[in-house]
Amino acid sequence: MSVSIITACKNRKKALAISMASWMQFDEVEEIIVTNWNSDEPIDHLTILSEKVKIINVKDEPYFNQPQPLNLAASLVKSEYLLKLDCDHILNPYFNFFDFHKIEEKSFITGSNNLLQGLDFEFLHPLWGLLYVKTQIFKEIGGYNESMGKYYAAEDDELAARLISYGLNPVLIDSQKLSALHIPHSNKERVKNFESFESITKILSEFGKDFVGDDLYTYIAKLCKDKNHNVFPTSSRMLEILDLHEKDKYSEEVTAEADPYCEPIYKWEVTQINDQVYEAVKV
């Protein structure tokens, strides 16, 4: 059994170093592929932690984006299984994730927010970005939807919908086993690097909205989720003003009708610098 872990990072170096140290402990993990999305500080030094670690550096990307760097990382995966983790997800060394979570012939493991309900603890609930699936299937459906990414959240739910449409059964991560944990953080860390953060704060300023501290980031996190899921009418007026959203197709109501395949938008020229470090440029 071989597993490749993929993740995307922009200015989350400290959290990534902690998480990565837990990932590399498992024999099942053959490689850890990190797309460093234009972080202010380099993270190449993390390769010294293990020969399993591969870093893909991408420059000249001012805003964070989940689908693009994750698909880029997945393009290097050679293992039979792919495990997508956020850079603040920890694998518990005392409870082996791979012992508790087995992928059957037609299943995948998910922490999808649309499916994972009732978890109020910050170290458990934000595991919604976790995905464990056969690599071949991930690539067959085109990976993450690269038309998403301006806004925080929902690309994981959209991908889960397409995997279900493909014919797979979603199996929720067993949170009670505590085999995977989330490093708690504020909503600021969730939204500050996205293009939508800059756009929304500008609009709020123009309309005289006064938010301070984490209230601003909490409001924007909710607004982004509202936009992505298109099921919260109370925010519809603000979303019209933003003029950044397309007509959404990703609400739970259309999950069964989702087209399983999503054509990747971006292509990359990847240059290998050494055994563990790569550079990638859009072509």
At 69-97, the pLDDT tens digits run 999 999 999 999 999 999 999 999 999 99
CB hemisphere CA count around 31 (13 angstroms) = 20
Q: CA 5, 185, 207: angle at the middle one, nearest 5? A: 115
Mean pLDDT, residues 36-56: 95
pLDDT for residue 164:
86
Read off the amino acid at residue 93: P
Of residues 240 and 200, more confidence is placed in 200
Strands (E), the chain: 3-9, 29-37, 53-58, 81-84, 89-91, 107-110, 131-134, 169-172, 180-182, 268-272, 277-282
What are the structural domain ranges in the chain? 3-184+251-282, 187-242
214 pLDDT more than 80: no
Q: Which of 81, 64, 102, 103 is nearest to 1 (CA)?
A: 81
Look up tokens 């402990």; give the residue. 25
Residue with tokens 């005392």: 94
Per DSSP, what are the bridge partners of residue 8?
35
Q: Using CA atoms, how far apart are residues 231 and 251, in angstroms rounded to an integer?
A: 7
Task: Give 24's contacts (C-beta < 8 A, 6+ positions apart).
Answer: 32, 49, 50, 52, 53
State the Cα–Cα distance between residues 166 and 18, nearest whole angstrom: 35
The CA distances from residue 126 to 136, 160, 173, in Å, are 26, 16, 12
Write the burial class of residue 249 (CB in 10 Å: 0-12 exposed, 13-18 middle, 19+ buried).
Answer: middle
Round to whole Å and give the CA distance between 112 and 126: 9
Confidence of residue 32 (pLDDT cuts 50, 70, 90): very high
State residue 231's pLDDT score. Answer: 40
Which pair of structure tokens corresponds to residue 58? 């991408």
Q: How far apart are the first and last CA of the chain?
A: 34
Residue 227 reports pLDDT greater than 70: no
Comparison of pLDDT for 205 and 85, the residue scoring more: 85
| Res 190: pLDDT | 72
Q: Does the pLDDT of residue 9 top 60, yes or no? A: yes
CATH architecture of 3-184+251-282: Alpha-Beta Complex (3.90)
Q: How far apart are CA 84 and CA 81, in angstroms?
A: 10
- Among 25-29, 123-127, 209-213, 252-256, the range with the most confident prediction by mean pLDDT is 25-29
Span 190-202, average pLDDT: 74
Tens digits of per-residue pLDDT, 101-119?
Answer: 999 889 999 875 544 445 5
Residue 58 has pLDDT above 90, yes or no: yes
% of the chain exceeding 70 in pLDDT: 77
